Amino acid sequence: MSWIPIQTFPIEQDLAQIHHVLQSRGLVHRVIEYNGRQVLYVSEQYQDAARQLLAMWQRGEHIDRNYASAAAVTVKPAMQLRQTPVTLALILLSALGYVLVAIPELIHWQLALMFVPMDLVQGQWLDVQSLSDTFERAQYWRLVTPAFVHFSILHLVFNSLWTWELGRRIERLNGALFAMLFFLFAAFAANISQYFWPSDAARFGGMSGVVYAYLGYIAVIHRLLPRPETSLPRGITAFMLAWLAICMTGIVDQAIEGGVANGAHLGGLIAGVAIALLQAMFKRTHSERT
């Protein structure tokens, strides 16, 4: 569920009446204290009806009980997609990355997305270069593009679902530019961590490192600057961290071809936490100055 901030009120103002008005009409909402103010949030699909009700309430107008019909607004999927273009683009690019893996004739395009230059000779990965080759050839896109490469349909679906669930929360909260910069930093952190992780696999990919960056960011920023968008269902963070710990043991590697990119997961998680801490520090410093 996506939440929209409608209006702020003084901390001492009693909002019981507007709460009753909204609740009686089935408009899902909540009030959160932030920076010494009360912030009224409503579920996205009800924002227009809530704004009208709030305006009528503030003007002291009588609100007809039948006005509830105006609140019967359905969620428009197309509108949600337009509001999260970066998240949608990442999922589409991930799907394209899977296509490059699934179709053998496109192998050279897949190789162009790997973290370092490499070649495939008679079914064997040969001529694997180093990170310095990536820089010497000015192929800087390789620093992030492995995130789009997915090696199975399950790999793609799993990462895409988490990208949509977590990524769109961050984009709705901070905007498309922040979401894009977040991805670039998180993907680089995840890829560089995996590259230096003790592993024999030079060919790695997937959005899971970015997904863990999303998770780390949301878990920390919700504690420091709580907002409805960063409120995850109970158990999600614990489950993801438990999965990370289990993968670290190496047990899961036996069941997954190519193994699990533990370095990418850990690097992404740390990157997300770092972004959250820096953002919270900046916002608090800015708030104190103003």
Rg of the chain (C-alpha set):
23
Q: Residue 65's pLDDT is what?
A: 45
258: which DSSP letter? T
Mean pLDDT of 31-57: 81
Q: What is the three-class DSSP state of 31? A: strand
Which of 48, 47, 52 is closest to 2 using CA atoms? 47
Cα–Cα distance between 95 and 203 in angstroms, integer?
A: 18
Residue whose pair of structure tokens reads 């009360």 in the numeric block: 38
Residue 213, token pair as written in the block: 């960056």
- Which residues sit opposite 120 in a β-bridge? 125
Average pLDDT in the 230-242 region? 86
Convert the pLDDT of each residue in 197-218 to its tens digit. Answer: 887 667 899 999 999 999 999 9
Two tokens at 178? 């922040």
Q: Which residue has the higher pLDDT, 179 or 289?
A: 179
Superfamily of domain 80-289: Rhomboid-like (1.20.1540.10)
Catalytic residue among 208, 222, 231, 287: 208
**Domain limits of the chain?**
3-75, 80-289
Q: Quick one: which H or E segment has residue 120?
A: strand 119-121
pLDDT score at 112: 92
Say if residue 43's pLDDT is above 70: yes
pTM of the model: 0.73
Picking from 198, 210, 190, 211, the residue whose alpha carbon sits closest to that of residue 267 is 190
Which residue out of 29, 150, 222, 265 is catalytically annotated?
265
Question: Which tens digits make up the pLDDT trace of 55-86?
Answer: 877 777 655 544 433 333 344 556 566 779 99
Rounded distance between C-alpha atoms, residue 14 and residue 21, angstroms: 13
Identify the weakest region by mean pLDDT among 4-13, 61-70, 225-234, 264-273: 61-70
For residue range 90-118, list pLDDT tens digits in order: 999 999 999 999 998 998 899 899 999 88
Q: Options 3.30.70, 1.10.3470, 1.25.40, 3.30.2310; which CATH number does 3-75 get?
A: 3.30.70
Q: Residue 144: its pLDDT value, please? A: 97
CA proximity to 163, closest of 274, 79, 86, 252? 86
CB contact at 8 A, 187 and 144: yes
Is 69 among the catalytic positions?
no
**What digits encode the pLDDT tens for the residues 114-162?**
999 887 766 666 657 788 988 999 999 999 999 999 999 999 999 999 9
State the Cα–Cα distance between residues 50 and 18, nearest whole angstrom. 10
26 CB neighbour count, 10 Å cutoff: 11
Query: To which residue do tokens 């990524």 refer?
Result: 167
When the pLDDT of each residue in the chain is averaged and rounded to a whole number, the result is 84
pLDDT for 36 beyond 90:
no
- Paired tokens of 1: 């569920």
Percentage of the chain modeled with pLDDT above 70: 83
pLDDT of residue 102: 94
Look up 193 and say whether it is catalytic.
Answer: no
Residue 267 pLDDT > 80: yes
